[in-house]
């Protein structure tokens, strides 16, 4: 005789646990299955170990999806404040770091403990080390799940197994295979929030800059992010690059503006007036890290005293620093990507419940759905919100 539940959730990540809590609170019998040895492994490593668990400003504009309106309902029905109330109920200390990003003061493990405590209180059964072998609809309703631990049955089945990012941590792309099994459309998946790589020639020229960080605006078409830029041994990283990487496509160019709040031409002109005998490189090093100043001054072939540089040359130098076209050769891929773009096409899901419109009792939530947030706590907010509303309906 198979174990029988009202709701089975596949994946004990952020979305799956949230869904299980809500369904359990409603009096549903719930089991969460995961092949991993511990729940919430991505929560544990998130935000540098402190989990950027939400963003107080999260709204639909902070998400990428083929249907930009799809996330509205979930985000409105379970807000950052709702999650924060849960965090505070559990006495977890938190702080706002920057740009509305909320982090734990102590450890991401506090969030995992909160979720597992809530699951326990809601009577949810957590089954770890469980491989999913097959899923079959039962004639007349419900689902049979063959697992390494025997067969289970449920009226509602919630797929919350995440995306493809960081395969080393157990990411499998399993949800997409289940979607295909049920004939559901997928939006092509791509690594998102990922460092960008450069071709060997450019990389060689930029090698001396590895390790340098600077304030920057990175632009791709009409989209731009102002945050830190980091030069690495493989290419470009830092929050500004991770953000733009979700919009970038192979072959596209991005435009880098370093220290975008400073008018570099005016600053150089003023420096020339004040001290004509210093070099342009020295004047630029008042604004940029020294090695970066050297890179741009040498790159533009500008040497000698500032007094000898006409406006045109200073403008040229300013443009090199603030309108720098870069054509990345690729990205670091799923190995380091924080999220997976694309996924289960929202066209087949009900935005109020995350249930498949044409298949009663089957739900997809969290990262496996074609809703992807910016860097900064947005992806967890989507996981909590989509999990919560599915838990209300499953």
Q: Which residues bind ligand FDA (CB under 6 A)?
A: 10-16, 34-36, 41-42, 45-47, 51-52, 132, 160-162, 165-166, 170, 172, 174, 338-339, 366-367, 377-380, 383
CB of 252 to ligand FDA, least distance (A): 24
The residue (of 133 and 274) whose beta carbon lies closer to ligand FDA is 133
CB of 176 to ligand FDA, least distance (A): 11
d(CA 278, CA 58): 47
CB of 352 to ligand FDA, least distance (A): 19
Radius of gyration of the chain (CA): 25
> Helix, strand, or coil here: 116?
helix
CB of 314 to ligand FDA, least distance (A): 41
The residue (of 19 and 216) whose beta carbon lies closer to ligand FDA is 19
SS3 sequence, 118-168?
HHHHCCCEEECCCCEEEEEECCCCCEEEEECCEEEEEEEEEECCCCCCCHH
d(CA 9, CA 155): 11
CB of 286 to ligand FDA, least distance (A): 35
- Output b/e per residue, 140-170; b: 16+ Cβ within 10 A: eebbbbebebeebbbbbbbbbbbbbbbeeeb
Using alpha carbons only, what angle is made at residue 249 by residues 245 and 254, rounded to the nearest 5 degrees? 65
Q: Which residue is nearest to ligand FDA (CB)?
A: 13
CB of 88 to ligand FDA, least distance (A): 18
Q: Which residue carries 């200073």 as its tokens?
A: 314
β-strand 235-237 against 324-326: which pairing, if any? unpaired
CA 328 to chain centroid: 20
CB of 4 to ligand FDA, least distance (A): 20
The residue (of 59 and 289) whose beta carbon lies closer to ligand FDA is 59
The residue (of 195 and 260) whose beta carbon lies closer to ligand FDA is 195
The residue (of 46 and 155) whose beta carbon lies closer to ligand FDA is 46
The residue (of 142 and 366) whose beta carbon lies closer to ligand FDA is 366
Helix axes 378-393, 80-89, angle to 10 degrees: 90
The residue (of 296 and 363) whose beta carbon lies closer to ligand FDA is 363
> Helix, strand, or coil here: 68?
coil
């Amino acid at each position: 005789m198979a174990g029988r539940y009202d709701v089975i959730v596949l994946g004990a990540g952020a979305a799956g646990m949230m869904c299980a809590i809500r369904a359990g609170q409603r009096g549903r019998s719930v089991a969460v299955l995961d092949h991993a040895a511990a729940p919430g492994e991505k929560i544990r490593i998130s935000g540098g170990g402190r989990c950027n668990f939400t963003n107080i400003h999260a709204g639909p504009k902070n998400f990428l999806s083929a249907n930009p309106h799809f996330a509205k309902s979930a985000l409105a029905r379970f807000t950052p404040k709702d999650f924060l109330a849960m965090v505070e109920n559990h006495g977890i200390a938190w702080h706002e770091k920057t740009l509305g990003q909320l982090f734990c003061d102590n450890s991401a493990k506090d969030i995992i403990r909160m979720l597992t405590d809530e699951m326990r209180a809601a009577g949810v059964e957590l089954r770890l080390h469980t491989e999913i072998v097959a899923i079959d609809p039962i004639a007349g309703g419900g689902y049979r799940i063959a697992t390494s631990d025997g067969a289970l049955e449920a009226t509602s089945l919630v797929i919350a197994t995440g995306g493809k990012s960081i395969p080393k941590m157990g990411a499998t792309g399993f949800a997409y295979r289940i979607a295909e099994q049920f004939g559901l459309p997928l939006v092509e998946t791509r690594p998102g929030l990922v460092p960008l790589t450069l071709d060997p020639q450019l990389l060689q020229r930029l090698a001396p800059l590895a390790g340098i960080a600077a304030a920057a605006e990175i632009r791709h078409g009409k989209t731009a992010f102002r945050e830190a830029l980091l030069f690495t041994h493989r290419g470009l990283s830092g929050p500004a690059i991770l953000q733009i990487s979700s919009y970038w496509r192979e072959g596209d160019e991005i435009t880098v503006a370093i220290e975008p709040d400073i008018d570099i031409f005016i600053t150089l002109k003023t420096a020339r007036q004040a001290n004509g005998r210093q070099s342009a490189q020295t004047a630029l090093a008042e604004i940029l890290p020294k090695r970066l100043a050297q890179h741009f001054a040498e790159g533009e072939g500008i040497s000698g005293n500032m007094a000898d540089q006409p406006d045109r040359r200073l403008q040229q130098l300013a443009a090199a620093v603030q309108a720098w076209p870069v054509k990345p050769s690729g990205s670091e891929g799923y190995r380091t990507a924080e999220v997976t773009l694309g996924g289960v096409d929202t066209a087949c899901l009900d935005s109020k419940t995350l249930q498949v419109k044409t298949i009663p009792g089957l739900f997809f939530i969290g990262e496996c759905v074609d809703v992807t947030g910016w860097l900064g706590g947005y992806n967890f907010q989507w996981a909590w919100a989509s999990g919560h509303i599915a838990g209300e309906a499953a």
